[in-house]
Amino acid sequence: MPYNPIVISDRLAAITLDLEEDHAGFYDILSYEATASLPEMVGWFEKNRIPLSIFVAGNFIERNSQILEGLSSPEFHSHGYWHPPLDRMWQTEVRQRNIRDGIAAFESFFKRKPAGYRAGCGAIKEEDFALLKESGVEFDSSFFTGIHVSGIHLFRSSRPRWYSPPGFVEIPISAHPLFRFPLSLSYMKLIGPALFSFPQQIGWGLHPLVFDFHLHDLVETSKTKALSPFWKWVYERGAAGKVMLDWISMVRDQGVEFVSMNQLNARLAAKARGF
């Protein structure tokens, strides 16, 4: 599908949380133990005046509406309905149904359409953008741009894209400029935060930076204990909260401006309209 890369020189960063069941995609039974940490975590972003954008899954909204009602500051977008099993998630019917059901659950709680969409595990294809657009969504932020469970996208650029038609923005999740690991807390814990800090410090920071994390990256749940040895090692390493907050502070000290996904989309769409 033809698109134009959207080049911006402003140093912008968006922090995004994927709000979903614990360890989404690993288990058939949905649980939400990590959710208890949500209000406190949101409070940290409020106190530090850093916009937080949350992509929330439909199944989460249906089972945890009470905790969502207590939150006023974050910006909410749709994270589809759920994380389909890996062997089915690329089927057209599964992807498109996830979009429809996710948006329906979002709308029935928030009483509005989501402005942004992020597919579980990044399982989206460009052909789905028409459906998103006609569902009232303005931008997608599902693409991973390096090594990820959704596949290996080594040569996919981190640059936002403008697809016309249908007139739609895609804002990929950033990857490390050299090593192509996603800029997400789970990879930062796995590989160590230093690797993710140096591009910022030497001026190789991406424009924009889109950072991604989950509550189960931050807190241990009973499911963490049941993971296979490899995933257990991934999820249990390091004091995750500290790793993330230190990284955010470092980015801020470099003079990067934090924006919400709506603010970022507005800047990108304004630029794209000039094409």
User: Which parts of this chain interact with Zn ion (CB under 5 A)?
Assistant: 18, 20, 24, 120
| Nearest distance, CB of residue 253 and Zn ion, angstroms | 29
First-to-last C-alpha distance (Å) of the chain: 17
| Nearest distance, CB of residue 258 and Zn ion, angstroms | 22
| Nearest distance, CB of residue 120 and Zn ion, angstroms | 5
Structure tokens at 203: 């001026």
| Nearest distance, CB of residue 249 and Zn ion, angstroms | 25
Residue 66, sorted as left (phi over 0), alpha (psi -120 to 50) or beta, turns out to be alpha
- Which CB, 150 or 200, lies closer to Zn ion? 150
- Which CB, 84 or 120, lies closer to Zn ion? 120
- Which CB, 21 or 138, lies closer to Zn ion? 21
What is the DSSP pairing of strand 147-148 with strand 151-152?
antiparallel
For CA atoms 211, 130, 3, 151, the dihedral sign is positive
Closest CA to 235 of 13, 15, 24: 24
Helix (H) or strand (E) holding 12: strand 12-19
| Nearest distance, CB of residue 51 and Zn ion, angstroms | 20
- Which CB, 20 or 22, lies closer to Zn ion? 20
Per the CB < 8 A criterion, the answer to whether 200 and 254 are in contact is yes
Closest CA to 106 of 75, 143, 73, 134: 75
**SS3 for 109?**
helix
What is the number of the residue whose Cβ is closest to Zn ion? 18
CA–CA distances in Å: residue 67 to residues 29, 38, 70, 154 = 20, 8, 6, 38
- Which CB, 22 or 138, lies closer to Zn ion? 22
- Which CB, 50 or 119, lies closer to Zn ion? 119
Burial category of 90 from C-beta neighbours within 10 Å (exposed 0-12, middle 13-18, buried 19 and up): middle
- Which CB, 58 or 208, lies closer to Zn ion? 58
| Nearest distance, CB of residue 252 and Zn ion, angstroms | 26
| Nearest distance, CB of residue 95 and Zn ion, angstroms | 14
